[in-house]
Amino acid sequence: MKKTIFNELHKEKNAKMVQFAGFEMPIQYPKGIIFEHKAVRNSVGVFDVSHMGEFIIEGKDALDYLQKLITNDASKLAPGKIQYAALCLENGGIIDDLLVYKTGEQSYMLVVNGANIDKDYAWCEKNLKGFDATLRDESDQTHLLAVQGPKSIDTLQKLTKTNLSDIAFYSFEIGKLADVDMILSRTGYTGEIGFELYFKGDFSTAKKVWEEIFKAGEEFGIEAVGLGCRDTLRLEKGFCLYGNDIDENTNPLEAGLGWITKLNKGEFNGREAIQKVKDEGLKRKLIAFSSEDKKFIPRHNYKIFISDQEVGMVTSGNSSPILSKPIGLGYVKVEHSAVGTEIQIEARGKHFPAEIVKLPFV
């Protein structure tokens, strides 16, 4: 297993470590997932997400190359702006979802899921032929902390001269925090105000940033938080998780990702297949559901029924720490996807009542 540069610091805090995306990562700390979840919703928490991948694209044809790779329209990006997008196969299946940062007039950074770094890089490399652009993988040198929650700006502002309140959502600035050069990115996977901090350096640099953030957030009850509550936080907002809600067998339109799929921008990988699905109509659709029955927790691959008819499958599910009831995402046949539709989730051989609802849950 790989280790992030913060590994030793997690163990000092007695984190429960697990294998995730090929890394030894903290899933929770001693106070538990629900406590950590509420700390982020109500105050501020710090995630180590250094397992994520960072690719740099530069050169005269950087934009044209990127336009072929992604579903969104990168021509709309100005330096300092960020887009959410997908990499697709020619059949429209999603290789990965990612963030695109425009770092200069002819330079971009792609941030990809940790479990997909090798696969994504191979796909990007395969598509590079014919473009005057360079591609390099800086994942191993790049450290990434996500500081999330309503007190995140108050915490981080103590450590930087950059006015964090001026950075709009899905924008970034390059500046110093704790005297370390970094990208200060107004993004996150929790639905709360927050920043993702990209920087490089040795262990002493990483330890300094970590400790300075915790000292700055002490008055707000700052907490180290793990991947367990990262999952419950994103689920309450209805954010897709690669490998669960989207994968190479998922078309962006059925996943509700039409808003990042710009069919009119020109050619890109998967465009024809996605256009065909749009023209012919969706067969299935990603829906959100909740239940008032607290006797079960919906899980990945649980079957969804209407009466005795199987109509779909759960892709993500859990008990919401904020709502104190079961919530989840799943795919159902499009004719059964209307908000308000009553469904049942099969768990342990029993059927539990649920209802299709609008996102976000919280």
CATH of the domain at 206: 3.30.1360.120
In the chain, DSSP assigns E strands to 2-3, 16-20, 23-28, 45-48, 53-58, 82-88, 94-104, 107-112, 134-137, 143-148, 172-177, 180-185, 194-199, 223-224, 284-290, 303-306, 309-320, 325-333, 342-347, 350-357
What integer is the mean pLDDT of 209-232? 98
Q: What is the pLDDT of residue 166?
A: 98
**Residue that terminates a domain, selected from 112, 135, 158:** 135
64-73 pLDDT, tens digit per residue, is 999 999 999 9
Residue 176 and residue 222 in one domain: yes
CA distances from 134 to 72, 99, 131, 200 (A): 20, 18, 9, 21
DSSP 213-241: HHHHTGGGT-EE--HHHHHHHHHHHT---
Confidence of residue 48 (pLDDT cuts 50, 70, 90): very high
CATH number for the domain harbouring residue 353: 2.40.30.110
Range of the domain at 20: 2-50+142-235
Do residues 146 and 23 both lie within one domain?
yes
**Could you tell me the strand order of the sheet in which 23-28 lies?**
2-3, 23-28, 16-20
Q: What is the mean pLDDT of residues 315-329?
A: 98
Q: What is the pLDDT of residues 241-296, one digit of tens each?
A: 999 999 999 999 999 999 999 999 999 999 999 999 999 999 999 999 999 999 99
pLDDT at 215: 98
Residue 56 confidence (pLDDT):
98
pLDDT given for residue 28 in this prediction: 98
Q: How many distinct structural domains can be found in the chain?
A: 3
147 shares a domain with 126: no
Whether 43 and 147 map to the same domain: the answer is: yes
Q: What is the pLDDT of residue 269?
A: 98
The first and second tokens of residue 341, run together, are 């539709």
| 311 found inside a domain | yes
82: domain CATH number is 3.30.70.1400
- Structure tokens belonging to residue 124: 């990007």
pLDDT confidence band for 187 (50 / 70 / 90): very high
Tokens at 208, concatenated: 């300094």
- Among 106, 135, 164, where does a domain finish? 135
Is residue 269 a part of any domain in this protein? no
Give the pLDDT of residue 55. Answer: 98
Q: Among residues 120, 135, 150, which one ends one of the domains?
A: 135
| Percentage of the chain exceeding pLDDT 90 | 100
- Are residues 43 and 17 part of one domain? yes
Strand 284-290 versus strand 325-333 pairing type: antiparallel
- % of the chain surpassing 70 pLDDT: 100
Q: According to the model, what pLDDT value does residue 244 have?
A: 98
pLDDT band at 182 (very low <50, low <70, confident <90, very high): very high
Q: Is 152 part of a structural domain of the chain?
A: yes
Mind listing the pLDDT tens digit for each residue in 86-131? Answer: 999 999 999 999 999 999 999 999 999 999 999 999 999 999 999 9
Q: What is the mean pLDDT of the chain?
A: 98
Q: Does the residue 33 lie in any domain?
A: yes
Q: What does the pLDDT look like over 76-96, one tens digit per residue?
A: 999 999 999 999 999 999 999
Evaluate whether residue 241 is within a structural domain: no
Q: Closest by alpha carbon to 53, among 15, 16, 22, 93? A: 22
Q: What is the pLDDT of residues 331-346, one digit of tens each?
A: 999 999 999 999 999 9
Is 228 found in the same domain as 147? yes
* 102 and 226 part of one domain: no
What pLDDT shows up at residue 302? 98
In this structure, is residue 314 part of a structural domain? yes
**Do 26 and 69 fall into the same domain?**
no
Residue 127 lies in a domain: yes
Say whether both 83 and 214 belong to one domain: no
One-letter amino acid of 357: V
152: how many CB neighbours lie within 10 A of its CB?
Answer: 28
Whether 253 is in a domain gets the answer no
Q: Which of the four pLDDT bands, split at 50, 70 and 90, describes residue 50?
A: very high
- Are 103 and 154 members of one domain? no
Does 156 share its domain with 230? yes
Confidence bin at 2 (pLDDT 50/70/90): very high
Q: What is the pLDDT of residue 330?
A: 98
Q: Among 114, 322, 308, which Cα is nearest to 237's?
A: 322
Residue 272: the pLDDT is 98
Q: Do 150 and 201 fall within a single domain?
A: yes
